[in-house]
Amino acid sequence: MYHRWLLSALAFLLSITLVACNSASTQQLPAKVANTTETTNSNSQQLPKKSAKRVVALSSLSADIIAELDKTKIVGITGSKLFKDDSRFKNIPRVSEGQNPPNLEKIVALKPDLVIGAEGFSTIPIQKINQLRIPTLLTQVNNWESLEKLTKTLAELIDADPQPLLNRYKTFLPNDHNQSLTALVLVSRQPILAPNKNSWAGDLLTQFKVNNLAAELQGKSPVGGYVTLSAEKVLEANPDAIILVNPPQGNSEVGLLDSLKKESFWKQLQATQNNRIYVFDYYGLVNPGSIDAIEKACQQLKQDLFGAERT
């Protein structure tokens, strides 16, 4: 069941926003919301005193950003299906695979002068690496501003120019910000979970000027940045569009949609009646994952929510 995957993933990933997760060792759902943008843990930081030349990245997003800034600086990454066919990483050693924690011996053997981790999943490995006096950085990304700040931080650490990549990010977002569309993003059925504004997905909707009807909601939820909705609450919200998110493992978006169709409220929603139900990949929308994943999610938002003719 979809919700079982979601809760089990959360238990494994130790409450994080940016995290190397699941079989791809990439960023996972945030179970702890930060009000800051890109943050670092002062108790786990030992930043390099000069430009880093040998970087090990323990999250797919950080690895991708470093590779875009200067691919010669990457010497180790976590195994990720997002990079399966990426020639940039073909000969780069993997320091972890699947859901296993990073192999410290492999990391040390690469003689890095900087190891970048994700707050939560990488906290313990980073602390151990710090004890070896290897410079480290813990990152946390939960909104667009944090993505830009992380890019600037990494560029500074490896003495690269972040501007070309920052300019590329701008092309992902729509030019027209005069939108009045209402929407809900649903990531599971039992419980019905939707991102509020304190999440990557919620902030992405904000960047597109989409009125996320769960943006200001708060409440008890197994996932920070997400709220639990009742069927009545969904029906009361009655958004123009509903976005469903398939999980990172398997192909179960049809299962989630089919399960929601069994709910008595489903056919009463205007989004259902107007055929405005859209299925998105987990990477890019819920989990930033990589630059390409973010770009694809943005392209789909433009097309599905604003570009295609409605039937």
Domain extent listing, the chain: 2-12+176-307, 42-172
What size, in residues, is the chain? 311
User: Would you place residue 254 in the very low, low, confident or very high pLDDT band (cuts 50, 70, 90)?
Assistant: low
Between 85 and 161, residue with greater pLDDT: 161
CB atoms within 10 A of CB 108: 15
Maximum average pLDDT range among 4-18, 89-103, 179-193, 229-243: 229-243
Query: Using CB atoms within 10 A of its CB, is residue 86 exposed (0-12), middle (13-18) or buried (19+)?
Result: middle
Q: Please state whether the predicted TM-score (pTM) of the whole model is above 0.75.
A: yes
Contact 296, 311 (CB under 8 A): no
Q: Which of 265, 264, 269, 246 is nearest to 256 (CA)?
A: 246
**Lowest mean pLDDT segment, chosen from 103-117, 120-134, 201-215, 272-286:** 120-134
- Say what the pLDDT of residue 309 is: 38
CATH superfamily of 42-172: Nitrogenase molybdenum iron protein domain (3.40.50.1980)
Cα distance between residue 129 and residue 135, in whole Å? 8
- Say what the pLDDT of residue 307 is: 77
Strand partners, 136: 115
Which CATH code for domain 2-12+176-307? 3.40.50.1980
Fold: same for 2-12+176-307 and 42-172? yes
DSSP 181-250: -EEEEE-BTTTEEEE-SSSHHHHHHHHTT-EETTTT-----SSTTEEEE-HHHHHHH--SEEEEE--SSS
**Lowest mean pLDDT segment, chosen from 94-98, 101-105, 164-168:** 94-98
Mean pLDDT of 118-125: 83
- Say what the pLDDT of residue 32 is: 30
pLDDT (tens digit, 9 = 90+) per residue, 123-180?
888 899 989 999 999 998 999 999 999 999 999 999 999 999 999 999 999 887 666 8
pLDDT (tens digit, 9 = 90+) per residue, 209-228?
999 999 999 877 667 899 99
